[in-house]
Structure 1
Amino acid sequence: MIAVTANSSPVGSEIFSLISLLVISLAVLLILRHYLPLRTTPAYLLVPIFFALGLPASIVLLVPIDLASNAREEDEATRGIWLPDRVLLVSWRICYWLTFALTWFILPILAEYADAGYRDPKGRILFSLRANAKYQVMLLGSAIAMGIYVTVSYGFDTNSLKSVVMALAYVWGLVLAIYLMGHGLVAIPRRLFRNASLSGRLRRIQSSAAKVHEKMEDAIQNLEDLEAQVVELSQRKTGSAKNFKDWIDELAEDSHLQESRPRTLSRRLSNPRITVPNVVTERYLADLSRQLDRARHTRARYVEEWDQILYDAVETQVILDSAASKRVEFGQASPSASIFDRYTILTPYTRYLYKYWFMPYMTMFLGFFFSLASFCIVWSEIIKPVNENVSIIAITVVHHPESDRGAIGFAGQVIASFWIIYMCAAALTSLTEVKVWRGRALVKRNTHGESAMWYAMQVAKLTAPLSFNFVTFLHPSIYESTVFYKFLGQLIKLSDIGTWFDALFPMFILVPVCATLFNLYGKVKSCIGYGGVIDDEDEENVTGYGTGTWREGRDLIERELNGHSSLGRLPGNADRHSVPNNPNNRTAPSISVPPSERARSLGQSSSSTAASRPRSEPQQRPAKEPEDENFFEGFAHRVKNTFDTVQTPKWLQNVGDGMKRPKWMGGNENDGESSRREGGFTSLFGGQPEGRVRL
């Protein structure tokens, strides 16, 4: 099946292609199963997403086959895997036009349909059409403008209209693909280099823990507020809410608001934000349903991220601690763990060798390998308009360019497939890192339907432009004879604008590459005020150590693993961990830092805390509960607390040291200092040394 005999029948290549398509389909099903529950996800989501992922993957297979199918007829055995031109043309038509329809029409409408919130299909489809109206009008306007230009320049015919449609889709896809690929070509090797250091990996996990924990609390709070609105609606028995009783009861059944749910301190002190209108309408219930659906998936997303942080922190700390014992033991896996976690053939010592020595060096090697691959892609993009013969990608794919035999054999096909896969992986990896996609995310077994549609649409949108961009790395005498170029390339280069755009725009890959390589994004965020805040004493601490971020994350992880988290056990997550403080039901070691580092950090934190306290800090006593105070007591407490927290300016601290009160007013020699220590300015409002307020 791999090598074709020297005859005119492509049976072996056809069998190989069919087997490859089956493998691609199986891989797509496994991806869908990883991110979506197949049994409960409706078919109108699964089928389009399956084709939106499977068709681009088949394009990655078609490009090398098309390149190798142009060998001379007298030496067909050197072609590798090849197919007749008619079969390739039909395959390209099916893949491209189905992908085009999914990208620009079917997936956008179905994504909004899944996110509509209405109960009946009519309301959902009307909402989806209204949401996509502006998007479709923009596409139609661009197509009309480009069509007028092509018609005036080259006359009106069917090829001109088809050229307008395909060129516009290619231009927009290539613009997005070049930016995302440029970011990913730097991000992938950088991530590998960083993960090669175990201590650095643990520090980054701890640094991200505080932000993820805060977002998880906000997501839970938002969901509780929305569920409180549902509870308030379900208590209404008359008025406009009576017309939507079934809908409200359905929302109430899906809600799980419990008074016994663990709540953090901030959420215990804050009341749910309930904003229920006096007149309940269908549009309001649809918006509430949509917000509830998004809030549940957002909560599941951050709970999943927090669980992953706990698991990674425990595993990394265990590997670090194994430097002394030369053994890596994670404990007993839970029944819900994967088969790779439940069964292993490695002993604790061999696992130590694998985790502590082999994996870091292998990760570093892969970092160097992908760095070289990224450099080859960037170099080929830049040198392509100048001279295709010095393109590194062309040299690796075309092994005998001046031979009378076929230009590309089986080895060249395999290398070409790896190049296209890496280019697509670099672009698609950036989709999950660049946080500008309206909060969309891929969550294991719990991805929102609209988010899954959106990511599938981006995959279908980026693959064809990246594949044609790869083909143009080769010499024109090679790629201009392919069916892919005759089907798509001639229409893209029909006008001078398309020719110059396809030749020069890929050079702009240097912009995202340099922006990611030199951290221009962080510098711009710092300039506009969104960068990290560093204390004055830590201005020279460029690593961020001592600023509290990673220490706060370390403390949060320790409290969670020791069972003292303020969130407690979250409902609906019991099947994830059998023990709330032990991810994956493994023995959880204490996450710590070296004693010298801990002592130094504690010394810095205590000194900074003491320096930030006011000079005169009154003694605190337990105050009354807010519900036991009347208006005057509450007002007096607020006034007293306001003046207690005000720090005296430095130029005013020593003003009254030389002034004494008369004896008839109860003054003495140390009156100034004692008055500031005992009551200070708050004594004018009845403040006492004990901290009480008197009116």
Structure 2
Amino acid sequence: MAVPVGSSIFYASSLVVIALLVLLLLRYYLPLRTTPAYILVPVFLAVALPANLIILVPIDLASNPADNGRPHGIWLPDRALLVAWRISYWLTFALTWLLLPIIGEYVDSGDREPKDKLLYSLRSNGRYHLTVIGAGILGAVYFIIAEGFNFVSLKALVMALAYAWGLILAIYLMGHGLVAVPRRVMRDADTGRRLKKLQSQAPKAYENLMDASDELQSYEQQVDQLKQRQHGGTAKNYSEWINELTDLTSIPESRISIGATLPTSRGAVPQVITPRYLADLTRKLKRARHRQLRYDAEWQDLLTSVIRAQAILDAKPSGRLVFPDSRGYISPIIRFHLHTNVLPVVSYIGAGILSLASVSIIWSELTKYFIPGISLVRVTIIPTSAERVSFFPSQIFAAFWITYMCVCALYSITVLPIWGNRALVYRTTYLESATWYSGQVAKLTVPLAYNFLTFLPKSVRTNTMFYRFLGELVDLTPLGRNFDGFFPILLLIPVLAALFGLYGRIQKAFGFGDWLSEDDEQDQWREGKVLIDRELRERGSHRLGLGLTDSPSRGSFDTDRRALLPAASNRTPIASSRPTRPARSERTRLVSALGDEEEPEGNFFGNFAHRVRNTIDSVERPGWLPDFTSGGRRQASGDEDGNWDWGRVFGGRQTEGRVRL
């Protein structure tokens, strides 16, 4: 077969473009100059190699000979495809299951010496790897008894286990993303709805920032005490280590010099200082510092988004839009029409296209095994009468479907609140978080790419090099045989849960069901509105026109503003004390100053319910009548705001409806 010069140039150019885009993505989340190479290179490969599959799968589909003996579209020889698949798959496999977990724990370690960091990483990953190895040994015993011992069966077992676990996670995350992504685009198209959503998120975002600042402050107080004792006792043996800890904090030198200490809520410094204690304190300090930077960045982004959304609404009478941070690239009139007329229409059209794509994928997942001929994804790539991909637009559609499936799964990862301290933050992402997120990208892309192949006819799927490399080994085992045909039907569970808000209902029943819920808390938008306006008013920024005046009620919101710092800063001072949070009854009296003219737009029954609730909350109840709705005394079975906690009925602790793994 002749060498496809044009296709080879196209594929090489695509790899260069992918590499540049990945570098730009890493530069957005990580400082490239200061990030060590042993972290940057694996993270780059863990993102670039899966992105390569978006181009490699369509090329593989078109590389089968057509009727005239020559492929059409972009194609490559079988040998080149086999080498590309081997490099992409096995490097991705090694990064996902071995290198990235070890590197992540290595950078998260608080030890100073590389040897100690490596030992900590191996110990931290020991249970995980022992579990994986144990499952592999059990599977190997089964295959040796059933099939006999041979290398092909052993390799098939390893690939089938990795594929099965990746597909289980990918299908669930993709199912939620198929609903959440179009809904997010559609909701953001309405400026008023977007503003209300941001205001509803403000109380939780601000509370997270205050909690993170308190946590960071407690560890900085321990470092402060260590600094004062570093010239005496066992601490003098670790003077250099203590100085390094001091460099990580924002403790004023004047406070250290006068010997002023504050009591810490997370344990006092022990009398005997050991390397284990210092390593543990270093690790906790690094985590707390990045957690504070994360929530500070979220708070700053929320304030910026609120200012821009309110500016768009305020510009409607004048027809001229000027953002506080805008530059003179376009005129205010053009900017106004762009944000009020053009972008909302584009968002609605995009939401419609994405919704149609989501319906097509869900329908194809449900029918590909029973009635494959009516698969919508299959029709866009291969006509009913065709038996192979021989048209360049079909490759474009294939790349689109794989990209959209991966985007939906990865979007769900970013909105999950169950990953603990892991988050992606602009230019300040914690290195352990970067390795973890890149590992998830590598773990999910290969199963989703092969799952996409199952939408196509068997005659087309089995002729691809991807199937001959991975599919045959997956189908060789009972674990993989027909697994991809039946299991994706469970896609309906996350789809229905996200579509009908089942997570929120579970939360109300048990107190821990909002893992993937994006529904805004309707009772928090007023509190967030007041909180944001007060924050911007104290900074002398754009006013949101709430019509509030200083009153005694507002005093309950006063906090130490040193906990807030612009996101561009690398070192954030923290509050000297935790801010007081007002009771719900006080918040209700405060937000009642907004008046009926600030009532959110909605249907008659929603507005009527809000007015009835506000009326009931303002009535003074007798002392013998329990208050289950708004404020009052703390109830024996409720939380500190008087809310009834149904989780206690089932024997659970009072929580915020979140489970952290």
Which TM-score applies when normalising by structure 1?
Answer: 0.77
Q: Matched residues, percent identical? A: 46
Pairing of 1:507-656 with structure 2 (within 5 A): 507-529=489-511, 547=523, 549-563=524-538, 566-568=559-561, 573=566, 575=568, 596-597=597-598, 608-609=617-618, 611=620
Q: For residue 462 of structure 1, what is the amino acid of its counterpart?
A: L
Aligned position for 2:350 = 366
Q: 1:570 deviation in Å?
A: 5.2
1:381–1:473: 8 Å Cα contact kept in structure 2?
yes
Q: 1:330 deviation in Å?
A: 1.1
Q: 1:274 deviation in Å?
A: 4.7
2:227–2:242: 8 Å Cα contact kept in structure 1?
yes
CA distance in 1, matches of 2:52, 2:485: 26
Is 1:256 matched with 2:240? no
SS at match of 1:327: coil
Deviations 1:431-481 (A, max 9, x none): 011211122110000000111100000000000000000011100000100
Deviations 1:52-75 (A, max 9, x none): 000001111110000000023735
Is 1:351 matched with 2:335? yes
Q: For residue 33 of structure 2, what is the amino acid of its counterpart?
A: R
CA distance in 1, matches of 2:526, 2:320: 27
Q: For residue 193 of structure 1, what is the amino acid of its counterpart?
A: M
Pairing of 1:260-299 with structure 2 (within 5 A): 273-299=266-292
Change (3 A) 1:574 1:170: closer
Is 1:125 matched with 2:118? yes
Deviations 1:243-269 (A, max 9, x none): 2111011111221124999xxxxxx99
Q: For residue 450 of structure 2, what is the amino acid of its counterpart?
A: F
Residue in structure 2 matching 1:71, options 65, 69, 74: 65
Q: 1:498 deviation in Å?
A: 1.5
Aligned position for 1:630 = none
Deviations 1:291-322 (A, max 9, x none): 11011110110111001110110111111112
SS at match of 2:442: helix
CA distance in 2, matches of 1:594, 1:347: 36
4+ runs deviating over 6 angstroms: 268-271, 592-595, 598-604
Is 1:328 matched with 2:321? yes
1:376–1:393: 8 Å Cα contact kept in structure 2?
yes
CA distance in 2, matches of 1:371, 1:603: 37
Aligned position for 1:637 = none
1:228–1:274: 8 Å Cα contact kept in structure 2?
no
Gaps of at least 5 residues in structure 1 are 1-6, 262-267, 334-340, 533-541, 581-591, 616-644, 648-695
1:328–1:352: 8 Å Cα contact kept in structure 2?
yes
SS at match of 2:473: helix
Q: For residue 597 of structure 1, what is the amino acid of its counterpart?
A: E
Deviations 1:331-358 (A, max 9, x none): 4x3xxxxxxx5452x3211211110122
Aligned position for 1:466 = 448
2:18–2:52: 8 Å Cα contact kept in structure 1?
yes
Residue in structure 1 matching 2:194, options 201, 212, 221: 201
Is the deviation greater in 270-279 or in 513-522? 270-279
Q: 1:572 deviation in Å?
A: 6.3
Is the deviation greater in 99-108 or in 143-152? 143-152
Residue in structure 1 matching 2:409, options 427, 433, 449: 427
CA distance in 2, matches of 1:419, 1:646: 55
CA distance in 2, matches of 1:610, 1:201: 32
Q: 1:367 deviation in Å?
A: 1.2
Q: For residue 244 of structure 1, what is the amino acid of its counterpart?
A: Y
Pairing of 1:102-117 with structure 2 (within 5 A): 102-117=95-110
Aligned position for 1:17 = 11
CA distance in 1, matches of 2:140, 2:332: 67
2:186–2:347: 8 Å Cα contact kept in structure 1?
yes
Change (3 A) 1:517 1:158: same
Residue in structure 1 matching 2:51, options 51, 57, 76: 57
Gaps of at least 5 residues in structure 2 are 256-260, 540-557, 574-592, 601-606, 625-631, 635-661
CA distance in 2, matches of 1:380, 1:613: 60
Q: 1:574 deviation in Å?
A: 7.2
Q: For residue 86 of structure 1, what is the amino acid of its counterpart?
A: R
Q: 1:595 deviation in Å?
A: 6.2
2:290–2:429: 8 Å Cα contact kept in structure 1?
yes
Aligned position for 2:211 = 218
Deviations 1:377-413 (A, max 9, x none): 011111111132211111101147437xx53321111
CA RMSD of aligned residues (A): 2.9
CA distance in 2, matches of 1:114, 1:543: 36
Structure having the higher Rg: 1
SS at match of 1:170: helix
Residue in structure 2 matching 1:149, options 142, 148, 161: 142
Q: For residue 441 of structure 1, what is the amino acid of its counterpart?
A: A
Aligned position for 2:239 = 245
Is the deviation greater in 175-184 or in 243-252? 243-252
Report how many aligned residue pairs link the two structures: 570
Q: For residue 166 of structure 1, what is the amino acid of its counterpart?
A: M
CA distance in 2, matches of 1:95, 1:105: 15
CA distance in 2, matches of 1:192, 1:278: 56
Change (3 A) 1:576 1:130: closer
Is 1:181 matched with 2:174? yes
1:400–1:408: 8 Å Cα contact kept in structure 2?
no
Q: For residue 290 of structure 2, what is the amino acid of its counterpart?
A: H
CA distance in 1, matches of 2:53, 2:397: 15
SS at match of 1:71: coil
Pairing of 1:332-481 with structure 2 (within 5 A): 333=325, 342=327, 344=329, 346-399=330-383, 401-402=385-386, 407-481=389-463
Q: 1:567 deviation in Å?
A: 4.5
CA distance in 1, matches of 2:119, 2:298: 35
Is the deviation greater in 64-73 or in 197-206? 64-73
Residue in structure 1 matching 2:222, options 229, 233, 244: 229
Which TM-score applies when normalising by structure 2?
Answer: 0.81
1:399–1:408: 8 Å Cα contact kept in structure 2?
no
Q: 1:43 deviation in Å?
A: 1.1
